[in-house]
Amino acid sequence: MNRPVVAVTIGRSHYERMFSEGAWESLDGFAEVVHHDGPEPAERGELMDVLAGADACITSWGVAQLDADVLEAAPGLRAMAHMGSSVKRFISDGFWPRGIRLTSAGVMLARDVAETTLGLMIVGRKRIWPLARHVSEGGWRDSPDWDNWKAGEMTGATIGLVGASNVGRHVIELLVPFSCEILVSDPFLDAGEADTLGVTLVDIDELMQRSDVVSLHCPENEHTRHMIGAHNLPSMRDGAVLINTARGGLIDEDALAVELETGRLFAFLDVTDPEPPAPNSPLRSLDNVALTPHIAGCIHNCTRMGETAVEDLRRFFAGESAIYEITEDMLDRIA
């Protein structure tokens, strides 16, 4: 029996970062592997070449879209395993009618983002960012400025999560030891599932009003763009922390800047709109916002995603269920 042909399209310069030795051994164990030999992810013409005889492919950031011409050039393609966050940019309208199966290793990335989010929650509640600056400028606990940022704890805090996504659910798990009250706003989550997760389902207005920390974990689309803005930012508690590790467009940053200028909130923004922030963005100069360059997920060591992508393809060709499969009906509720 012929072994399936799997095309690796991500470019050889990314192999060490994305694949462990175990992943390569596993892939070689069930498939014939063909490579896009360039150092960087396959561009459109290169993708057409490497997929010509492939039964499946492994993609990641930077690979060209599987558009109509690419799909026509890959008549035998039956499965695609993606290593990254969103799959939406990589597939086209012709993808689903072909019956190609799609899996995502983004569930591994979600764990990294959730860990970063928890760290930001702790740092935010403890006021590490402004207090460290306060001390570096000569202050201490007996300074009159001490009361400007009263340090708080995670235990007993009210945490509001906008979106019960893969990341959101990992955050919920990580919050268990802290005995927090967890509020979730998500139109796709029902009361029964909320009970199972141990969270309270509320609308976003109530979440914004009640939470000590608001953290965003939902996709950006026509319904969620600027869902955080002048209409609900003023309702946040004094001293509350806003965290965005999802998509920059979820927040109306002009409105956020106006609210931050009052000094009563603090924000951690790992994503902005645009990226990077405009050179003259007030977010770059405000003392109560910390900007990071979209690094909440793994950057240098993403081998767990490579292992997951390979395992999903092994399962596909063995007739087993995938670790995490993406179907067409999921696209309106994932990033």
Active site residues: 247, 275, 294
DSSP state of 2: P
Nearest Cα residue to 226 out of 244, 211, 213: 244
Alpha carbon of residue 118 to chain centroid: 14
For the chain, the distance separating the N- and C-terminal CA atoms, rounded to the nearest angstrom, is 39
Beta pairing, strands 56-60 & 5-8: parallel
Whether the CB-CB separation of 116 and 296 falls below 8 Å is answered with yes
CA dihedral 168, 169, 173, 175 (to 10 degrees): 30
**Which tokens hold the place of 186?**
């998500």
Helices (H), the chain: 15-18, 21-30, 44-50, 68-72, 106-126, 128-136, 166-175, 191-197, 204-210, 253-260, 303-318
Question: Side chain identity at 184, as an amino acid letter?
Answer: V
Separation between Cα atoms, residue 150 and residue 78, nearest integer Å: 56
Q: Which of 320, 282, 331, 310 is nearest to 26 (CA)?
A: 310
The span from the CA of 73 to the CA of 17, in Å, is: 29
**Distance set, CA 39 to CA 14, 23, 84, 181, 240 (Å):** 8, 19, 18, 48, 45
Peptide bond into 144 cis (omega under 30): no
Tell me the backbone φ, ψ of residue 309, rounded to 5 degrees.
-60, -45
- Assess contact for 295 and 8: CB atoms under 8 A: no
